[in-house]
Amino acid sequence: MNMHGPADGGGITVQRALELPGLRSGLPEVVVGADRLQRTVRWVHAGEVPNIASLLKGGELLLTTGLGLGTRPAEQRAFVRKLAERQIAALVVELGPRFARLPTALVEAARSAGLPLVQLHREVPFVTVTEEVHTEIVNGHYTLLKEAEEVHRRCTQALLGGGGVPQVLAILAEFAANPVFLETADGQLLYAAGPSSAAGVDPLQVWEGLRGRSRESGPPANAVLVDVPGGGSVRARIALLAVGAPLLPVHRIAAERAAGILAVVLMQARQEEELAARGRGDFLTDLAEGRIAAQDAPGQARVLGFKPGDGPLLPVVMRLPEDTVAFAPGGGWAVLARAVSEELASVGVPVLVGVRPVEGRVPLLVGLRGESERTAVADRVAAALRSGVERAGLRPAGRAPVVVVGVAGGWVAASAGLRHAAETATAAQGLSDRPWYDARRLDTELLLWRLRDHPDLAAFVDRAIGPLIEHDARAKPPLLPTLSTYLTHAGRKAETARELHLNRQTLYNRLARIAELLGTDLDDPQTVLALSLALRARRLVGGG
């Protein structure tokens, strides 16, 4: 780009303005600031009033005959100081009736403030100068827009030709002659591209050095950051870093055009990704419900990209709270599925991840090398699922998702295991938060959940622990937590007292009060079983 053409901010330089016919005919002489003629002229203003600075916004080329400069040196210095504070581009004074030569105070003040000062030795029509400079500025803006529009056209053409995000960034990097990056909204790098003129320069090293390490101190100087919108929020961010060449306004305009294209690309990719994740979820659900025969499942799974090897298959189901499903952000399910797949692939664990947004369920099949690694892999899968939920923004304040791990086996066992894990994950909603549950240890919860709407279950809860529920509603301390902890520890009083932070005698007194209210013996095995079932069932019949 011509160094005297469009300048930073979309104007022209002071140098270019002086070269135009209008000012050139006035025989301009740069008195102060010859080294600052690359300043941007945003607009031209002509005026003869002392308080002209209050009418300016910055970047103006001010034309005057000097009538408003004042007659005293102090007034002239103040006049220049105020213009400099407004950050105008330059002051142009026409010599004539007011000044045959510029006052020393004016020149010294301009030199001290670093303000370019130009004197015209011949009279010029200020209106002609204004028209010429403004026309040049408008033409400069048009040139910028035209160049940016060409980048937009090339990016669109690349997409129509089957390209994607890398091609769009490569076009932008080539145009800006600088590396270009696409980051997530929280600053994680997604893609990087560099211009061909920077052969041998690794964009990833540039990003790490200039962008990746500048989170606390802010973006590096002269960086251009442009948000890529999506669904009312920032989906990603384009970052141009000035490494090989200065960044100009046209580069920001081009980046903004590219951001609009990338928003569409990412939205489409997200939709396609979510459709694929839903398709895998449909396959796993059909397998669980018996709509796909076990002998046909391996072939269909290979088409979906799942190649587990000869080891057993581990069925896993995660169930999200209902309020998550109601307020799930757009594209969140795709982010979740991708995050889990990438996390497990990075450690060599084959996995098929599906989503069922309506039910708030995420079914998975994981390939094991042997049954002995079931627990270790289950730990890693559960951690990946919970991390994915956080990354996707699918976890509301409060309840955590429930992860249930089934029994490992072949494709027949996987079908039954997925179905069992899905039901159990629903039944386990509201239990204490654990990284994951073994489906085999939740059969009692599943049985009670299936009976949750039967009136006999509510009647059973009322008979078994009704007096304690009534007591806790009107008196303190509540006794239900004490009973629950006591039964959890299988009647071991020392462990119960430790968990409840009670001394032994206080615990004994509470247990005696519980036995009195219930009219039963807490050491009787049948009583203990009934109370344990009643406490579990209370969660399902509206008792919390």
> Which segment of 15-29, 196-210, 486-500 scores lowest on mean pLDDT?
196-210
CATH number of the domain encompassing residue 100: 3.40.1390.20
* Same-domain status, 292 and 411: yes
Using the 3D structure, point to which of 136, 166, 190 is the last residue of a domain. 136
Is 544 contained in some domain? no
Q: Which residues pair with 41 in a beta bridge?
A: 12
Contact 239, 181 (CB under 8 A): yes
Is 1 contained in some domain? no
Q: Verify cis geometry, omega within 30 degrees of 0, for the bond prior to 97.
A: no
* Same-domain status, 303 and 437: yes
* Same-domain status, 380 and 290: yes
Q: Which residues pair with 292 in a beta bridge?
A: none
- What percent of the chain shows pLDDT beyond 90? 33
Closest alpha carbon to 328 in 356, 357, 353: 357
pLDDT in tens, 250-300: 888 888 988 888 888 877 777 777 778 888 999 999 999 999 898 989 988
* Same-domain status, 281 and 365: yes
Q: What is the pLDDT of residue 491?
A: 87
Note down the domain range covering 214: 141-268
Overall number of domains in the chain: 4
> Which segment of 127-131, 299-303, 376-380, 391-395 scores lowest on mean pLDDT?
391-395
Number of Cβ atoms within 10 Å of the Cβ of 104:
10
Closest alpha carbon to 26 in 107, 113, 126, 149: 126
Contact 343, 366 (CB under 8 A): no
Is 211 contained in some domain? yes
CA gap 341, 366 in Å, rounded? 10
pLDDT in tens, 334-391: 888 989 999 998 889 999 999 988 888 999 999 999 989 999 999 999 999 998 888 8
How do beta strands 351-353 and 224-230 pair? Answer: unpaired
* Same-domain status, 288 and 392: yes
Q: Which residues pair with 192 in a beta bridge?
A: 181
Is 5 contained in some domain? no
* Same-domain status, 353 and 236: no
Residues shown for the chain: 544
* Same-domain status, 368 and 440: yes
CATH number of the domain encompassing residue 302: 3.30.70
- Give the residue carrying structure tokens 């990075």: 346
* Same-domain status, 67 and 126: yes
Q: Long-range contacts for 502-506 (Cβ within 8 Å, ≥24 apart)?
A: none
* Same-domain status, 94 and 80: yes
Task: Considering only the C-alpha atoms of the chain, give the largest distance between any 2 of them, rounded to a whole number of Å.
Answer: 116
> Which segment of 30-34, 114-118, 268-272 scores lowest on mean pLDDT?
268-272
